[in-house]
A and B are shown apart, each in its own frame.
Chain A
Amino acid sequence: MSDRKIRIMIAKPGLDGHDRGARVLARAFRDAGMEVIYTGCHQTPEQIAASAIQEDVDVVGLSCLSGAHNYLYPAVVNLLKEQGADDIAVIGGGIIPEKDFQGLYDAGLKGIFTPGATLDSLSEWMFENITPRE
């Protein structure tokens, strides 16, 4: 009876409101058997970190298409770290030029997903890389 479901929070930090990708992903992860806490657009990094801790998620998925990812994504990672929750993985998607990838990985992002990946491949990545912790 004990199957640990992956809990993922999908959030859009910053002011960008283009949520097509985030909504499609929410459905896809639900269809893959995960519990998705969809918090929508216009969140500050502080709200996202606080929510992630309250919900005890395994992973936070961030989506940003406005180019503000270099500020916003590391901000979330750092806030989680400050609050003793750095075991929550942070992944990011949206409009991210490749040259920004390394910087984001260095800042602590566990995965970066840009348009072109299939929904199944994303779910697979989750099952392979995210383990609900004890």
Chain B
Amino acid sequence: MNELGKKVLAGDVRAASRLIRNLEDNIADTKTSLKHIFPHTGKAHVIGITGAPGAGKSTLTDELVYVLRKRDKTVGVLAVDPTSPFTGGAILGDRIRMIRHAEDPGVFVRSMATRGSMGGLSKAVGDGIHVLDVMGKDYIIVETVGVGQQEVEIINHAHTVMVVQVPGMGDEIQAIKAGLMEIADIFVVNKSDREGAPKLYKEILNMLNMSQFPDGWRPPVIKVGTSLEPHEFNRDVAKIVDEIENHREHLIEKNLLAGRMRRKTQAEINEALRAAILEPVLDRLVANGELNEMVDRLTKRETDPYTLADEVAKKYLVQPE
């Protein structure tokens, strides 16, 4: 095991953060570190929190961390925010809501930018989960940006998926789209003091009534009031933690944990294959100008993408006998 890997295993915060950084920046040697720590992963319970911007995910996460700590659990948080497609920069503003945990050695909060990863959470987030896992965190919370495909992709990484909705944001319609209903293990109606909350709550229940639950787990729907009433807020969030633990037990009982993780490992191997096979080929095509040529030919309608791809495959892949 290399130096960085050893430090991470020992719980060194800086080393862990540096490793995540290397993963984000795709530094050459990072794969080695990942190879070393991978065997030690698989212990933490991963919670994915998704929901539209403004749903209050960060404030919820902060309170979840508080409750979990009171129950003596260690927590890692990956807070994901969008990278600006125009400037490549990002303001990562989730940590600000979790500052009260900054000095708690049992809590590790890491802000991550999506870095324009096409369709879904960046690979670095998936790897970041491994790093926090190896550090020995009991729970890992991944808070996504909650827009588009990321909402659904979280299922590849989490054992328990929590979908957060807020009344008055047209969420009644949002719940139907993008397959959110299928992936949620827990529904949260946040800011439930607002107008439209009872309606939203009912709509979710109605949809659940029309669904099947082959796993035997019917997602609970939990109402959470305003965070400005700290005592009640804490009580509501404690209910969520109870359900998370119920869900975990359910997965263990029904032997479903492995199945959930299978989804992740499937995605990971796909991604690794893509990185190992497709990217080097693409890089070569870009470097020697072939990609440009292909685009020109396509634009002139001299050929089609599939023919071109077959040609590339023939040229660069070792053909089976």
- Direct A/B contact, Cβ within 8 angstroms: yes
The tally of residues in A whose CB lies under 8 Å from a CB in B reads: 34
By a CB distance below 8 angstroms, the chain A residues around B17 are 53-56
By a CB distance below 8 angstroms, the chain A residues around B13 are 53-54
Q: Is B290 an interface residue (CB 8 A)?
A: no
Q: Is B35 an interface residue (CB 8 A)?
A: no
Partner of A35, one of B26, B102, B108, B113: B113
**B21 adjacent to A7 (CB under 8 Å):** yes
Minimum C-beta distance from B46 to chain A (A): 19
By a CB distance below 8 angstroms, the chain B residues around A7 are 21
Q: Which residues 6-65 of A have a CB within 8 angstroms of B?
A: 7, 26-27, 29-40, 43, 46-47, 50-51, 53-56
Minimum C-beta distance from A57 to chain B (A): 9
Q: Which residues 52-95 of B have a CB within 8 angstroms of A?
A: 83-84, 87-93, 95
By a CB distance below 8 angstroms, the chain B residues around A132 are 25
Q: Is A4 an interface residue (CB 8 A)?
A: yes
**B18 adjacent to A36 (CB under 8 Å):** no
**B103 adjacent to A46 (CB under 8 Å):** yes
By a CB distance below 8 angstroms, the chain A residues around B102 are 46-47, 50-51, 54
Instruction: Give the number of A-B contacts (CB < 8 Å).
Output: 90
Q: Is B109 an interface residue (CB 8 A)?
A: yes
* A interface footprint on B1-41 (CB within 8 Å = 1, 0 otherwise): 00000000000011001101100011110000000000000
Interface of A is mostly: mixed
Question: What separation, in Å, do the CA atoms of A27 and B92 have in the docked complex?
Answer: 11
Question: What separation, in Å, do the CA atoms of A32 and B102 have in the docked complex?
Answer: 27
Partner of A54, one of B87, B96, B110, B113: B110
By a CB distance below 8 angstroms, the chain B residues around A35 are 83, 89-90, 92, 111, 113
By a CB distance below 8 angstroms, the chain A residues around B113 are 5, 35
Question: What separation, in Å, do the CA atoms of A60 and B236 have in the docked complex?
Answer: 36
Q: Is A72 an interface residue (CB 8 A)?
A: no
Question: What separation, in Å, do the CA atoms of A43 and B103 have in the docked complex?
Answer: 11
By a CB distance below 8 angstroms, the chain B residues around A85 are 14
Minimum C-beta distance from A46 to chain B (A): 6
By a CB distance below 8 angstroms, the chain A residues around B21 are 7, 56
Interface of B is mostly: mixed
**A31 adjacent to B87 (CB under 8 Å):** yes
Question: What separation, in Å, do the CA atoms of A56 and B113 have in the docked complex?
Answer: 13
**A36 adjacent to B95 (CB under 8 Å):** no
Partner of B89, one of A31, A43, A50, A84: A31
Question: What separation, in Å, do the CA atoms of A54 and B27 have in the docked complex?
Answer: 19
Across the interface, name the chain A residue whose C-beta is closest to B109. A54
Question: What separation, in Å, do the CA atoms of A51 and B93 have in the docked complex?
Answer: 13
Q: Which residues 83-134 of A have a CB within 8 angstroms of B?
A: 83-85, 132, 134
Question: What separation, in Å, do the CA atoms of A27 and B91 have in the docked complex?
Answer: 7
**B14 adjacent to A84 (CB under 8 Å):** yes
By a CB distance below 8 angstroms, the chain A residues around B20 are 56
Give A contacts to B, CB under 8 Å: 1-5, 7, 26-27, 29-40, 43, 46-47, 50-51, 53-56, 83-85, 132, 134
- 13 extra A-B contacts, CB within 8 A, seeds A5-B89, A54-B109: A2-B28, A3-B25, A26-B91, A29-B89, A30-B84, A35-B89, A37-B92, A38-B93, A47-B103, A50-B102, A54-B108, A84-B14, A132-B25
Q: List 23 A-B contacts (CB under 8 A).
A: A1-B26, A30-B84, A31-B89, A32-B87, A35-B83, A35-B90, A35-B111, A36-B89, A36-B90, A38-B92, A39-B95, A40-B99, A43-B99, A46-B102, A50-B102, A51-B99, A53-B14, A54-B13, A55-B17, A55-B95, A55-B110, A56-B14, A56-B20
